[in-house]
Structure 1
Amino acid sequence: MTTIQIREVVERLVAASQRKPGAPEIPVVLDAGYDTPHIAHLRDNLPVEILGRLRSAHVMRRPAPSHEEFRPAAQARRDDPAPWGAEQAVTAANTRLHWKATAQAWVRLHPRLTRRAAWLDHDGPLPIIEGTVIRLVVQKLPSGGDNKPL
């Protein structure tokens, strides 16, 4: 259903001449309630870039090594990204409300998919859907609540 809505919006943008051929991809931002990897898989050559907040239960893996370097794929959750190795980008800034905020990014990670929910009726092997994972950690929350990484 969500992919149908995304397709309809893109078609309306094209019909209204709001998106020209060769223009950058349209960012589509999804909250954790959506299955971001599944929607990215179903985008069917739409000129969109899917950006979504993953549920904390998502297990992310590094790219599989070549056959010559066979080793188990490293996987981690957002609360312990150590198995992903060194991040490809990191930045930190002091903020008024959160004190120190740190963002880290890993490229070419993919979620470990299982034949449940959206993938239950998928024919053939489950796809590898690579993307960039950005992890944000703040030193404190203004409310004093638990500052889990996003």
Structure 2
Amino acid sequence: MSSIVHEVAHRQALAELSFFRMELYAAMPRRADALFELTDAMLCAGSPVVSLPELSLEAVHRRGHGAMYDALARGRLDVSRLGWVLAGLELPRGTDGQISIALDVTPWPRPDAECSPDRLHCYRPCRCDGVRQTIPGWPYQVAAALGGGRTSWTGPLDAIRLGPDDDLTEVTASQVRDLLARLREAGQWREGDPEVLFVLDSGYDIVRLTWLLRDEPVRLLGRIRADRVMYYPPGRRKGPTKGRQPRHGEPFRLADPATHPAPAQESTTRHDRFGAVTARCWGRLHPKLERRQGGWADHPGALPNVEGTLVHLEVEYLPGNRDPKPLWLWHSVPDATTHDVDRLWRIF
């Protein structure tokens, strides 16, 4: 019986792979044969790809390098159609059926291409001298569905190139909305399903992103700096005189444990890579926004108090005998008692 089940699963996987390859070919309206073989050559290359002519030497690339350059110059890929195809594939989910999607920026280094348009200084530590932290290139923001457990397998869903005049937060919010629309259309998310969780590393203005996506069925989880200051909800005005009610309550300084009250949740576990891991979370916290901060200058009316949950992670050690540094996460759901703090840090 187990062999029959295995055969069925094997045939289903091959059928899904065959379907995707046909749709990928159909998404190439010009120079489809050469572009398709170039894609296979990239997948079959046994080492990092450092030059295009090397790809033409792969066995699956049956055309000369001249046809390859012609396909890159004159071919076309329907990115929108490919995005709909990717959204319709089977996606990894959590035990509760929740979809988790990681967002991160990956640069395509172009240090010697001085005539290439719209290059930016992308964060990428240079190994040549260990000092330089950026390199000229093209940054691409990639969205990929995350699988459960410790695995490098992900489900790529979208990729957009960031331009020099783009507002990263606005572009990210637009990318999330477009991706949600495709997931709805493909039947991956329906009303009543768990909200889609988007996981982000440091470098994103996750508080402003929370505000921009407040009407969407999403949750955000991202890393924030360890020197930030948050505030509890304001209480009633003190004293007998009349005046404006306070906008912010008691401060919560991430770097000052003396300002940390008892957490709403605390979890201690043992991890084979990190040793003893302790996670704590506090809810209903917000930052003090200023109009001089990026993105808030043109906000109409009073600036909002964007509440969320803070998660603090302490580990015993890091791989490679590195000293662990404070790790703080922001979760866009302000009620800290409604989610599993241990699951949140593991997803991150």
TM (normalized to structure 1)? 0.87
Aligned pairs for 1:54-69 (under 5 A) are 54-67=224-237
Aligned pairs for 1:127-142 (under 5 A) are 127-142=304-319
Tell me what 1:13 maps to.
183
CA distance in 2, matches of 1:55, 1:78: 9
Name whichever of 64-73 and 47-56 sits farther off.
64-73
How much does 1:9 deviate? 0.4
Name whichever of 51-60 and 37-46 sits farther off.
51-60
CA distance in 1, matches of 2:217, 2:258: 33
Contact 1:78 1:149 in 2 (8 A): no
Tell me what 1:112 maps to.
288
Contact 2:267 2:279 in 1 (8 A): yes
Structure 2 counterpart of 1:39, one-letter code? L
Tell me what 1:75 maps to.
251
Tell me what 2:299 maps to.
122
CA distance in 1, matches of 2:187, 2:270: 42
Contact 1:40 1:50 in 2 (8 A): yes
Aligned pairs for 1:48-59 (under 5 A) are 48-59=218-229
| Partner-residue secondary structure (3-state), 2:213 | coil
Contact 2:267 2:280 in 1 (8 A): yes
Structure 2 counterpart of 1:49, one-letter code? R
1:145 to 322, 334, 339: 322
Contact 1:74 1:84 in 2 (8 A): no
Structure 2 counterpart of 1:60, one-letter code? M
Tell me what 1:103 maps to.
279
Identify, as 1 or 2, the structure richer in helix. Answer: 2
Structure 1 counterpart of 2:187, one-letter code? S
Aligned pairs for 1:20-39 (under 5 A) are 20-39=190-209
**Aligned Cα root-mean-square deviation (Å):** 2.2
CA distance in 2, matches of 1:81, 1:5: 37
- Deviation readout 1:21-56 (Å, 9 max, x if unpaired): 121111111111110010010014111111111122
How much does 1:68 deviate? 5.7
Greater length-normalized contact order (CA 8 Å, ≥ 6 residues apart): 1
| Partner-residue secondary structure (3-state), 1:53 | strand
CA distance in 1, matches of 2:273, 2:179: 36
Structure 1 counterpart of 2:297, one-letter code? L
How much does 1:20 deviate? 1.0
